[in-house]
Amino acid sequence: MPFRRWWITLLLLVPLSAQAFDLDDLQRQLAATPSLAGSFEQQRELADLDSSLSSQGTFLFERGKRVVWQLEQPVEERIELTPQAITDGSGENAPPGGEQVAQLFLQLLEGDWQALESRFTLALSGDRDDWQVALTPKEAALRERIAEIHLRGSDTIDHLDMRTPDGDRLKVRLFDQHPLNDS
Amino acid sequence: MTDRGYRWLGWLWLASLALCALWLGWMLRQGLPADTDLTALLPADRQAPLVEKADRELGRGFENRFLLLLGDDERVPTTQALGRSLQRLVDEGQLAGVDWRELDLADADPHGWMGQWRYRLLTPQWQQAIDTDGGSTLVEPALRRLFSPTARPEPVADPFGLLDAWLSRLPRSPIGAADGLLTLDAEGRQWSVLIGELKGSPYDLPMQNALHSALERFQQQHPDAELLRSGLVFHAAAGARQAKREMSTIGAASLLGVLLVIGFVFRSPRVLLQLMVPLLAGSLFALTLTLGIFGRLHLLTLAFGASLIGIAVDYVLHLQCDRVIDGRQFRLRRLMPSLTLGLISSVIAYVAQALTPMPGLRQMAAFAAFGLIGAWLTVVLWLPRFTLHASPFTARLATRWWRLCQPRWRLSPWLALAGALVLATFCGLRLTSDDSLELLNPSPAALMQDEQRVQQLLDRDTGSRYFLVRAADTQSLLTRLDMLDGSLDRAIADGLQVEYQSLAGSVPTMAEQQANLARVRKLYGAPLDALVERAGLPATVADEARARLQQAPPLTLAEWLETPLGSLQQRLWLGKTDDGGVAATVVISGARDARTDATLSTLADSPPKVEYSDRVSRIGGLLGELRRHTALWVAAAMALMTLALLWRYRGRAWRVVVPPFGATLIVLTAFAVGGVPLNIFNQLGLLLILGIGLDAGIFNVEHARKPAAWLAITLSTLTSLLAFGMLAFSATPALHYLGLTCLIGLASVWALVPWVRPEAGHSTPRRESEHV
């Protein structure tokens, strides 16, 4: 029974919180929710622009399988990201390099630290109820595209904040998140 | 000639050889200027030196680089191990560089350096969309793109994403990045890609050895890893290793065989040494003069030329057999006519070849002719002056062998003619020829499979088929390329199974770039306003975007080739031609069959008239030309020789020509029966058969009653059989065919000689040998 397992996992995690909270703990904590759905608000601040691009919609997340990003405002668009491919509503080709961005996005939402660690230096702070992970690229080539990424959350990831060296910034807020039991 | 005059000539010859040695030493002070590239043997394609340039440009990557694909369950650590061991080779100075980490190939973001040109570059779909309704259908996709979490929107510089649309159309390298490694995703598996850059020639032996042992060590430590190799260096290394292996098996067996035979017959190590002296002197003479005349030497010239000098063994053996058996009665004068005729007939055959327009044949013929002359002079001028230990065993052996080989009946000229006609007819009907490039390819099957897998996984072409397009200047070249691309697109839509790479796909003509800019101006009207409004952006964004169009420089071909993406297409650009124009290639990959070839040739003939070149079939054609030329000139030489022989021998001439011509026919018939196609290499073998067969025929007739002559003929065919016939067991196709020809041909020469020996008549061999 999934509901009972959920509680047992939580109970098991309680004594651990007394000790130092590390990335492995965080990964286990996130893995406890294999799939979830919720809403998002995305805000993109562009350096050469006074205003920002804001959008909102809903999302569906199945760990290890896919992320469905359903844009509702100001335009309707369904984007599905899987470890293999990125497909959008029109089935159009992703721009060059798009796959890598999609892969990174997926790894961030999964909290797949092992994969991320090969390219980023990770720094965890806070405790299990309010944690923050800061990611800085290790290699110069990646630093040209990404300055810094911040993740914040509790049982789930609630905030994603990505800055590029030229001053652009992507902020994503995930809210109304609820686990899906049918998986 | 007086004895003093003879001695004087001997010293003169020795002095010339010493001069040769000095000259050669001076020419070789910087190593042997040798060509290894096979195309250097073929005539420079006078009509199209540009084709050769195109071949070189397109083949460069294969020559100067190698590529490894590594598949393993533990991919990351395994690749790191291999990458580090290759990096060590770079540190040791064996390789120029090796790329295997993600960042090794990370070009700067194309958005950075392509951005300024984007307003003049439109894909056909976008052109059509704007032409139809001003581009209003492009607003919705642009809006989606602006808000996608994975896109990188640039509302001011490029609100519609012109550049991304353009870039996604360019051919992209299948090599990507994963886990920090250069990675190829193919056939449901991730392969690590390691690209090595050579410092110098792929034939450099120390580098080959270092690379080979590094890879061997890696495979021993990681037996489960699958490693695929591609690059000329691996084929060159495999060839070198095979040559070394065969040198120690086939070569050693040949040498041992020759030593045993000569040792058995003459019972003296000195004869062996004296056998080598004329060959070495001939080679020295040939190498010096050929190098002096041609400036360079092809390795194949050296190999085949040195083989042809082997004919000179005849002169040595005839002289030595005579000396041993006649003892004090030996007179050089008695042997001179046959020795001279033997030399003249062989040299005629080579001089005929030296007149052909094929530089490869000319070199080889000059080398062989000089070698024979040098060896002959040494034999005649110096060999009789060396003391010879004559074992009575040799004379006894000669007599016994002579009696043993008396045929029961003899061939009549009419029977010989009839036989020749039958064999010739059969050959004419059944003999096939093969000029395929594979003959030149000594690579083992496993390496060829690796090569094919890599090409297939990478979806890469070897650049062997292409259209050659010329024009007066760059703009008209682009126009012509564009027209060709159009015809190709239509043919592909009609079912032609190929892909192509063309510079026109990357750089539109100036006229089209101008038209594109006009279209973008249109798109930046109402559609842009709509986009900005629906995105919730201030209206000033649209104005700022429009301001960018003021500075929209055109993309030139030169600028494109300078960019990281353009440098991948550098090989398509041939630059200025000799006639002041410019030229480029359009490389074809995909299906390879007769129908595709026919379609491509038809395309080349229709406007804009271009040249279609298939390197594989072109080199095959050149090899065929080389083969037909050899055959033609050899036939002419044979006719000439027959005339010369008729003049001296009259009615007995047929007895002289039966061994060489008969053996040639037997070899050809054997090939016809066995289904072995005729190629340039077994034809070169036939040259050797002709030389040795002719010598045998001449001595057989001139010294019909001398057991010494028959012993010498036997020894010369046997030693040549051991030296060249053994090559039939070589795994290198070229050597195998040469050897096979020699094996059958030399055995036939030897078998034919007794049947055409003139009747003993009044004098018996026994009486002649009583002098001993």
- Residues from chain B that touch A98, judged by Cβ atoms under 8 A, are 150-151
Residue B686 pLDDT: 86
Q: Give pLDDT tens digits for B190-243.
A: 888 888 888 888 878 888 888 999 999 998 998 888 888 888 888 888 877 877
Identity of the amino acid at B172? R
B167 in contact with A at a CB cutoff of 8 Å?
Answer: yes
CA distance B726 to A71: 77
Task: Give the integer Cα–Cα distance in Å for B155 and B524.
Answer: 12
Check CB contact of A85 with chain B, cutoff 8 Å: no
Top residue of B148, B160, B169, B565 to mutate, by most chain A CBs within 10 Å, is B148
Q: Does B347 have pLDDT greater than 50?
A: yes
| pLDDT class of B765 with cuts at 50, 70, 90 | very low
Q: For residue A74, list chain B residues with Cβ-Cβ distance below 8 A.
A: 143, 147, 534-536
Interface of A with B in 3-42 (CB under 8 A): 42
Tell which residue, B690, B668, B692, has the closest CA to residue B678. B668
Contact A90 B109 (CB under 8 A): no
| Residues B415-432 as b or e (16 or more Cβ within 10 Å = b) | ebeeebeebeeebeeebe
What contacts 24+ positions apart, CB below 8 Å, involve B672-676?
B672/B426, B672/B427, B672/B429, B672/B430, B672/B431, B673/B430, B675/B432, B676/B737, B676/B740
pLDDT digits (tens, 9 = 90+) for B694-728: 888 988 888 877 888 888 889 888 888 888 888 88
- Distance, CA of A159 to CA of A172 (rounded, Å): 6
Give the strand pairing for B297-298 and B34-35.
Answer: parallel
Q: Say which of B150, B168, B537 has its CB closest to residue A105.
A: B150
In chain B, what are the domain boundaries?
Answer: 49-107+173-230, 115-134+455-614
DSSP state of B659: I
Chain A residues 117-176 within an 8 A CB cutoff of chain B:
118-119, 139-141, 144-145, 168, 170, 172
Higher-pLDDT residue of B268, B440: B268
pLDDT at A11: 47
| Residues β-bridged to residue A62 | A35, A66
Q: Kindly report the CATH number that applies to the domain delimited by B49-107+173-230.
A: 3.30.70.120
Residue B771: the pLDDT is 38
Q: Does B541 touch chain A (CB under 8 A)?
A: yes
On chain A, the residues whose CB falls within 8 A of the CB of B537 are 49, 51, 53
**Total residues found in chain A within this entry:** 183
- Among chain A residues, the shortest Cα distance to B102 is held by A141
pLDDT confidence of residue B96: 86
B144 to A48: CB separation less than 8 angstroms, yes or no: no
Q: For residue B152, what is the nearest residue in chain A, using CA coordinates?
A: A98
Q: Could you read off the pLDDT of B208-218 as tens digits, one per residue?
A: 888 999 999 99
Whether residue B249 is predicted with pLDDT greater than 60 in this model: the reply is yes
**What is the per-residue pLDDT for B732?**
76
What pLDDT was estimated at residue A19? 54
pLDDT recorded at residue B768: 38
Strand partners, B66: B196
pLDDT of residue B460: 66
Per-residue pLDDT of chain A (183 residues; tens, 9 = 90+): 445 555 555 444 444 444 567 888 888 888 888 888 899 998 888 877 777 888 889 988 888 788 888 888 788 888 887 766 666 655 554 555 566 677 788 888 888 888 888 788 888 888 888 889 999 988 777 787 788 999 998 888 889 998 988 888 889 999 888 888 654
* Residues on chain A touching B181 (C-beta within 8 angstroms): none
- CB-based contact (8 Å) between A91 and chain B? no
Q: Where is A152: in which H helix or E strand? A: strand A148-153
Range of the domain at A51: 2-179
Distance from CA of A165 to the nearest CA of B (A): 13
CA–CA separation, B144 and B132 (whole Å): 21
The tokens for A59 are 């999302």
Which pLDDT does position B140 carry in this prediction? Answer: 83
Mean pLDDT check: name the lowest of A109-113, B40-44, B267-271: B40-44
Q: Residue for token digits 């057999």?
A: B321
Our CA dihedral for B87, B92, B94, B97, rounded to 10 degrees, sits at 40
A92 CB neighbours in chain B (<8 A) are: 141
Name the strand (E) or helix (H) holding A87: strand A86-88
DSSP-derived 3-state class of residue B154: strand
Q: Of B544, B528, B533, which Cα lies nearest the Cα of B157?
A: B544
Distance CA B683, CA B634 (A): 9
Q: Is the dihedral of CA B430, B431, B437, B438 positive or negative?
A: positive
Position B452 scores a pLDDT of: 81
Question: Is B535 close to A97, i.e. CB distance below 8 A?
Answer: no
**Per-residue confidence (pLDDT) for residue B437, from 0 to 100:** 67
Instruction: Characterize the bridge pairing of strands B582-590 and B573-576.
Output: antiparallel
Q: For A20, which DSSP code?
A: -
Q: Would the pLDDT of B562 be above 60?
A: yes
B538 to A50: CB separation less than 8 angstroms, yes or no: yes
Q: Where residue A107 sits, what CATH number does that domain have?
A: 2.50.20.10
Residue B642 has pLDDT above 70, yes or no: yes
Q: Say how far apart CA B176 and CA B185 lie, in whole Å.
A: 8
The token pair at B598 is 């026919």
Letter for the amino acid at A44?
Answer: R
- Alpha-carbon torsion, ordered B745, B750, B754, B757, to 10 deg: 70
Dist. CA B309–CA B286, nearest whole Å: 9
Find the helix or strand (DSSP H, E) in which A141 lies: helix A140-143
Q: Is B10 exposed, middle or buried (0-12, 13-18, 19+ CB in 10 A)?
A: middle
Test B149 with A172 for CB contact under 8 angstroms: yes
CA B291-B293-B298 angle, 5° bins: 45
**Neighboring chain B residues of A94 at a CB cutoff of 8 Å:** 150, 168
Structure tokens that stand for A97 in this block = 């390099």
- Mean pLDDT highest for which of B53-62, B164-173, B723-732? B723-732
Return the pLDDT at B16. Answer: 94
What's the rounded Cα separation, in Å, for the pair B563 and B261? 68
* Residues A105-116 pLDDT 10s: 888 888 888 888
Identify the pLDDT of residue B627: 82
Residue B770: its pLDDT value, please? Answer: 36
Q: How far is it, in rounded angstroms, from Cα B282 to Cα B272?
A: 16
Would you say residue B766 has pLDDT above 70? no
Contact status of B168 with chain A (Cβ, < 8 Å): yes
Write the pLDDT tens digit of every residue in B48-57: 567 777 777 7
**What pLDDT shows up at residue B716?**
87
Q: Is the pLDDT of residue B498 over 50?
A: yes
The secondary structure element, H or E, covering residue B74 is: none
Out of A75, A100, A102, the one facing B177 most closely (by C-beta) is A100
**Nearest residue, CB atoms, B167 vs list A96, A118, A141:** A96
How far, CA to CA in Å, does B175 sit from each of A118, B86, B164, B191, B440?
A: 19, 19, 19, 9, 31
DSSP secondary structure string, A5-35? HHHHHHHHHGGGGGS---HHHHHHHHHT--E
Q: Which of B102, B150, B536 sits opposite A98 (nearest CB)?
A: B150
Q: How many CB pairs under 8 A join A and B?
A: 97
Query: A96 and B140: CB-CB below 8 Å?
Result: no
Task: Provide the greatest CA pair distance for chain A.
Answer: 53
In this structure, of B99-113, B134-148, B515-529, the range with the lowest mean pLDDT score is B99-113
Of A49, A69, A99, the CB nearest to B149: A69
Alpha carbons B667 and B366: distance in angstroms, whole number: 26
Instruction: Indicate whether B9 pLDDT > 50.
Output: yes
- The identity of residue B256, as a single letter, is L
Q: Which residue of chain B is at minimal alpha-carbon distance from A54?
A: B147
Q: What is the mean pLDDT of chain B?
A: 82
| C-alpha triplet B695, B727, B449: angle, nearest 5° | 145
Mean pLDDT on B362-390: 87
Give the pair of three-digit tokens for residue B146.
């602006």
Side by side, which strands form the sheet with A148-153? A86-88, A77-81, A66-73, A52-62, A35-45, A169-179, A157-163, A148-153, A130-137, A120-127
